[in-house]
Every structure is written in C-alpha cells, then in structure tokens.
C-alpha cells in the first residue's frame, strides 16, 4: 500500500470535522409536522457522508506513514477558493458559483480548458434546474 500523503490525511480529518459539525448543527433546524423530512435532512445526509468518507480515508491509511509528495500549492489554492465561497455566492448567485467551482476543479485536476468550461456549464444547468427550480433553493 502506498504511503498516505499529508494532504490526504488533512482532508480526511477535515471531512470528519465538517461532517460532525453538519450533524451537530442540523439538529437545531426545525422539524416538520407529521414526520416529513424538514430542512435538517440534506445537512444530515451530507454530514453522515462526510463523516463516513473521512473515517474511511483515515482507516485506509492507518498504517501508512504520511509524507509530502507535491501538489501542495493546488491544495492551498483550493482552500483559498473555498474561503471565497460566501463572497462569490453573494455576488454571483448559486448556479454561477457552482459552475465556476466545477470548472476550476476540473482545471486543477488537469482537464483541458474546453472540457473544464463544458463541465462548469453542465453544473450551472444542473444546479439551476434541480436546486433552484425543482427544490426552490434561493440563490
């Protein structure tokens, strides 16, 4: 088994922390009458997925020795991009921000610019149709 990189371990710990925080904060959201899923459903599902994914990554690399292997600059750039998310959401809205993040992520993963733009466009369309039109999420 390859040694787990420092950034993979950091991402796993971050996923565990964010998942636990999402589960904790979702408990304070209001419940719907009659047992229907309320606003806490999506954050709870997201919290469970993040928590289990992070724990799975930590379990997978439990015996590996952590080491740096390059690409740290891209990780720091991605973290900076995540820190800008609230500002971008306020300026651009939900769909364009999601598309921008998808395109930037595709470029960071080595996709050609045309493929990254196509990815961003598809994400804009899907987020708009599913979240904004179907689920009524404001943004």
Contact 119, 91 (CB under 8 A): no
Where are the alpha helices (H) located in 27-112, listed in sequence order? Answer: 41-60, 72-83, 85-92, 94-108
* Cα 113 to Cα 103: distance, rounded to the nearest angstrom: 8
- What's the pTM value of the predicted model, to 2 decimals? 0.54
Question: Taking the alpha carbons of 127, 8, 109, 90 in that order, is the dihedral positive or negative?
Answer: positive
End-to-end CA distance of the chain: 44
Q: What is the pLDDT of residues 45-81, one digit of tens each?
A: 888 888 888 888 888 776 666 555 566 677 777 778 8
Rounded Cα gap, residues 39 and 42, in angstroms: 7
Tokens of 39: 């606003």
Number of neighbours of residue 71 by Cβ within 10 angstroms: 11
Domain-wise residue ranges, the chain: 2-60, 72-134
- In angstroms, the CA 104 to CA 91 distance is 17
84-134 pLDDT tens trace = 888 888 889 888 999 998 999 888 888 899 999 999 999 999 988 888 888
pLDDT band at 43 (very low <50, low <70, confident <90, very high): confident
CB 104 within 8 A of CB 82: no
């Amino acid at each position: 088994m390859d040694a787990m990189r420092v950034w993979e371990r950091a991402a796993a710990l971050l996923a565990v922390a964010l998942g636990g925080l999402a589960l904790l904060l979702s408990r304070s959201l209001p419940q719907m009458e009659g047992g229907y899923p309320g606003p806490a459903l999506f954050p709870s599902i997201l919290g469970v997925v993040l928590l289990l994914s992070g724990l799975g990554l930590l379990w997978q690399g439990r015996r590996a020795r952590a080491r740096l292997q390059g690409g740290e600059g891209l990780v720091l750039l991605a973290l900076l991009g995540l820190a800008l998310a609230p500002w971008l959401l306020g300026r651009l809205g939900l769909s364009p921000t999601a598309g921008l993040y998808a395109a930037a992520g595709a470029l960071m993963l080595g996709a050609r610019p045309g493929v990254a733009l196509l990815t961003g466009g598809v994400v804009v369309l899907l987020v708009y149709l599913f979240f904004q039109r179907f689920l009524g999420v404001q943004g």
